[in-house]
Structure 1
């Protein structure tokens, strides 16, 4: 592994007297603003290093734009690629689906370290100077590497604020949210990464595009009165969307009522008996291009739903009101807008417009 002398990290310092605070939207899954602090007085819209931010209970200070980033999740990877940072990336991992077609060429230039989570040795073999993740499970004991261990080797890390609640990781520890996820927290992630890499104008453009597409997808769509269940994976014990995570975000933005809105976990496992008893009139199901759980793929899900004596009684199955989304569209990511657009296309067809 190469020298870390030039790595863009140093221990937490007391920020100098002149501080420019870039206020970002609702942080760490809660309502308090989280400042990104920079020293000095740079030009408008430019990062002045060192930059320090509070990231899910960890203070991170970066001395220069990272040059060898490893992203441990597809959601984080697609943000970085959308910001045009493929030349700053040393590796990716944990893929549920093919990369967005618009990012395929950029993604081809970045080594894939693993289809799922890499080992610590594989991660460090990529000689990273910055490590990002969408889910805290990678940063906990038994995961890829703890953030403390990265800090001790001079490598800063970043966890998506969509996986953070009250300063702690959800998927890496607490397992549940106290505050519902909002799209502003995803935009916060884009802004923070754009600041870290000094590409703020690209971040602003990406957010503006997502906002435009989300507004167009939901304009005039009225699914009020429809009840919905989100089935991510597993035919044995289904993982369904709870009432405070990314699935609920899609339900709220489309006007549907999540039948499992009382669950605070992002993707709790439930019984098929409780699933069928909830009687959803719409099913949003994950079409995952992987084989981690039974029924990851759409064809397997559909075969199960239409053949099992219990699931055949679900109103959404009987009426065929089923919307298939990729896993990345169900996770908190820039693909939420693709999910909205697919729900809109399904609704348009229901109205005889498709």
Structure 2
């Protein structure tokens, strides 16, 4: 007999409760991190970075690019080790973050793309970013270039899928756990990292356990684009969010991260739910308006039924907030079933 799916209200209560638990855990992490750091400033650790073993010393002036990087550091209680962050204008305001107080304690270094000059001027001893999202050969800031300057670097494991030679590949949620554990090793706060990973994994498993039985609803993620839509393949967090909630990304067969597809392929997939990735100058409402008016999409089942779910940018990129996005999306699907 199928397991009864919890109501949307029940899920929302669970989401609220988990957020409180996370906040309480974070409140007590500062002293714990300080204790783990004590006497370890000269220690080093070997950690995987996109397929190679790299030796790190404990950083004191880390620079984070985008909220995914900063959130990982703040979730591990490493605010005192962060010199600053670089936040492009497309990102939602940091004041909306669960770690808004941590952002307030460190310097915003730039609202532009990451570059070598920002890092050098900040006297950074570690840069945390993704490949082609922060690190870029075209813009002259890569791990190899930073190595020559004596500046350590860490790449999001998820982004290694696009790194030259494809040296490492993990499912997006697994890549998040790996990042937290690896950053925990770099900063010598392994116990704290294990606690954070366990808490996040528990929340994901709770959603998966409550996912509805039967055929999963087909879901299309709309990032941007009018001539051709930009969407999520199988190698980015929204794919795991959609699947963990019991639905199906209609482009989960694409072995890509963020990628372009055709409107014809979207129409053929007949998505019953449309996820809107919300960021930048084009508001989610404008994207929804476009989909309702475009001849390519106005007849899609999800558009006809007004089944739109807005996913915050920082809940769709690699970082702890992807679990918040999962819980909210699962609650949304529950509401559709009511």
- Which TM class, normalised by the smaller chain length? 0.7 to 0.9
The answer for the alignment partner of 1:201 in structure 2 is 191
Name 2:45's counterpart in structure 1: 51
User: By percentage of residues, which structure has more helix?
Assistant: 2
How many angstroms does 1:144 deviate by? 5.2
- Is 2:181 the counterpart of 1:187? no
- Aligned 1:76-95 pairs, distance under 5 A: 76-95=69-88
Q: CA RMSD in A?
A: 2.5
- Cα deviation digits, residues 211-253 of structure 1 (max 9, x gap): 2322333332217331111112233432111123322212321
Q: Is the 8 A contact 1:191 1:203 kept in 2?
A: yes
Give the corresponding residue for 1:300.
286
Quote how far apart the aligned CAs of 1:120 are.
1.9
Q: CA deviation at 1:145?
A: 0.8
Using the alignment, how far apart are the partners of 1:188 and 1:261 within structure 2? 22
User: Which residue in the other structure is 1:156 paired with?
Assistant: 152
Partner of residue 70, structure 1: 63
Cα pair 1:323 1:342 within 8 Å, conserved: no
Q: Which residue is 2:99 aligned to? A: 103
**1:245 partnered with 2:271:** no
CA–CA separation in structure 2 for the residues paired with 1:220 and 1:301:
30
Alpha-carbon distance between aligned partners in 2 of 1:271 and 1:257, rounded to the nearest angstrom: 18
Tell me how far apart the structure 2 counterparts of residues 222 and 178 of structure 1 sit (CA, whole Å).
32
Q: Which runs of 4+ in 1 moved over 6 A?
A: none
Q: Which residue pairs with 1:347 in the alignment?
A: 333
The 8 Å contact of residues 180 and 243 in structure 1, kept in 2 or not, is answered as: no
Question: TM-score with structure 1 length normalisation?
Answer: 0.76
Query: Which position in structure 1 is the counterpart of 2:311?
Result: 325
Deviation at 1:173, TM superposition (A): 4.3
- For residues 251 and 113 of structure 2, what CA distance do their matches in structure 1 show? 29
Preserved CA contact (<8 Å) 2:172 2:318: no
* Aligned-pair CA distance for 1:105: 0.7
Alignment deviations for residues 54-109 of structure 1 (CA, whole Å, 9 cap, x no partner) = 3114442123x211000123211101011121111112124522335320011111
> Structure 1 residue 146: deviation in Å?
1.7
Distance 1:195 1:136 in 2: 24
SS, match of residue 311 in structure 1: coil
1:308–1:182: structure 2 CA closer, same or farther, 3 Å change rule?
closer
Distance between the aligned counterparts of 1:256 and 1:299, measured in 2?
A: 23
Give CA deviations for 1:244-285 in whole Å, capped at 9, x if unaligned: 332221232122222212211111112323322321111111
**In structure 2, distance between residues paired with 1:344 and 1:209:** 18
SS at match of 1:313: coil
Deviation at 1:197, TM superposition (A): 1.0
State the aligned residue count. Answer: 297
| Alpha carbons of structure 1 residues 178 and 79: separation in structure 2 relative to 1, 3 Å | closer
